[in-house]
Amino acid sequence: MTLGYFVTGTGTDVGKTRVSCALLHAFGALGKTVAGMKPVAAGRENGKWRDVELLAAASSITAPYEQMNPYALLPPIAPHIAAEQSGVDIDIAVIRQAYLELRKIAEVVIVEGIGGFLVPLNDHQDSGDMARALGLPVILVVGMQLGCLNHALLTARAVRATGLPLAGWVANRIDPQMIAFEENVLALQYRLECPLLGVLPFERVPDIKRLSTFISLSDIVPGYR
């Protein structure tokens, strides 16, 4: 049985790629074959899409690039605007087919969203529609900083409105100077009503394999030991 999870965040630059890679390493440590997927990437650096490269490095199998990243857009802006400027129409059916192909070769597929959960992909669909088309339980990455409580609770409400299960959440410390960090984590534990899968410490240059040890899979893996 292939496991799949959709990783979303409370916004942009909150650590979705970091957490997605950590999840890949954590599942890999269980002996699973793992594949990362970034359906839509916007913003090329030095000729590469950095998030896709990191997910590929954390994967244990090699998949065709177009399956891991069906839409690679040049401008580092909102995906629907980047797609329009590039003359591209983001088609969720294409993304779903790429995901199904990855399922054939990996036991675990981690799909990283783009931006926040409701970021538009085209004129009539958003990232939430993509997650629903894939039918995956959602893991929420909360960038721990001032204002994260409201962002996290609104995102959780949006996820549940799609009918998808919120499998768990990860607290990613992106502001090392955040006041009352532990109290904010506790407030979200009480209110999000889903398992806390891990608390990742701040690291300016992250060691993803080490960070994966802060992730607990016991609440989301059937038959976990």
Residues with a known catalytic role? 38
Give, in order, the Cα–Cα distances in Å from 55 to each of 74, 153, 176. Answer: 18, 27, 25
Question: CB–CB of 165/137 below 8 Å?
Answer: yes
Q: What is the DSSP string of 192-210?
A: H-S-EEEEEPP-SS--HHH
Q: Which residue has the tokens 């069906």?
A: 70
Query: How many whole angstroms separate alpha carbon 26 and alpha carbon 24?
Result: 5
Residue 202 DSSP label: P
Task: Measure the CA–CA gap between 11 and 13, rounded to whole angstroms.
Answer: 7
In whole angstroms, give the CA distance from residue 166 to residue 140.
Answer: 8
Angle at 223 between CA 222 and CA 225, to 5 degrees: 125
Among 168, 177, 170, residue whose Cα is nearest residue 212: 170
Sign, CA torsion 50/170/32/111 = negative
Q: Quick one: which of 128, 106, 111 has its CA closest to 71?
A: 111
